[in-house]
Chain A
Amino acid sequence: EPEVTQTPSHQVTQMGQEVILRCVPISNHLYFYWYRQILGQKVEFLVSFYNNEISEKSEIFDDQFSVERPDGSNFTLKIRSTKLEDSAMYFCASRMTDTYNSPLHFGNGTRLTVT
């Protein structure tokens, strides 16, 4: 069964550094998402992306965050200047359509640790 893949599985970085988290969504999916889960807290929506542009973003997704689909398969999340509070599990997700009855398929996540 096709799946969403994310790399790396774990990233450790120093405060102020830039990180890029990578995702390969399921190949025939058109809608892509990033979610974040701080340890012990709920899964939170960051951003949705369709047709090479952001369709919606949450309050968490401020100017230090950006997303890109650099080629036909990858979908990346860049955090420009990491802060301690950015430490979390970051999940990429994709789905075929954006209708309410189209479930999201999640990758295994990248655990980001900012020291």
Chain B
Amino acid sequence: EDKVVQSPLSLVVHEGDTVTLNCSYEVTNFRSLLWYKQEKKAPTFLFMLTSSGIEKKSGRLSSILDKKELFSILNITATQTGDSAIYLCAVPEYGGANNLFFGTGTRLTVIP
């Protein structure tokens, strides 16, 4: 069975800190990995990664994939209280309609 495991489950940091969130996966026929940010409601798309070693960057957020070691990290530098959210990692399931299989998420809390 495909698996997506995120760590840590929760994290509390102070504003200005840098955080690294981890996602490891075991999936048949890997094709891509996606990161989403979930605040109070809808998960919002952050990044899609398909190739090893190529960093995707958006402002203070960046992410990279290691297809050999089967993991991805999401970095947030100079955290702000607005970064407080659950960060979800997901991979398309093998076969079928590429439906997303989600990890349990990392709950990040940034305190002033």
Residues of chain A having any CB pair with chain B under 8 Å? 4, 31, 33, 35, 41-45, 48, 50, 55-56, 89, 91, 98-109
Partner of A108, one of B32, B41, B50, B92: B41
Contact status of A91 and B100, CB under 8 A, knowing A43-B88, A101-B32, A101-B50: no
**A-B pairs under 8 A by CB, number:** 59
A43 near B102: Cβ-Cβ < 8 Å: yes
Q: Could you say which residues of chain B place their CB within 8 Å of the CB of A108?
A: 41-42
Quick check: A104 and B102 within 8 Å, CB to CB? no
Q: Is B32 within 8 A of A42, CB to CB?
A: no
Kindly state the separation between the CA atoms of A42 and B43 in the bound complex, as whole angstroms.
Answer: 12
In-complex Cβ contact of A56 among B32, B43, B88, B96 (8 A): B96
Known: A55-B96, A56-B97. A41 touches B42 (CB 8 A): no
Q: B74 contacts the other chain (Cβ, under 8 Å)?
A: no
Expressed in whole angstroms, the Cα–Cα distance for A102 and B50 within the complex equals 12
B88 pairs with A98, CB closer than 8 A? no
16 example contacts (A-B, Cβ-Cβ < 8 A) are as follows A4-B42, A33-B99, A41-B104, A43-B43, A43-B102, A50-B97, A55-B97, A56-B96, A89-B41, A91-B42, A100-B31, A100-B32, A100-B50, A100-B98, A103-B34, A106-B44
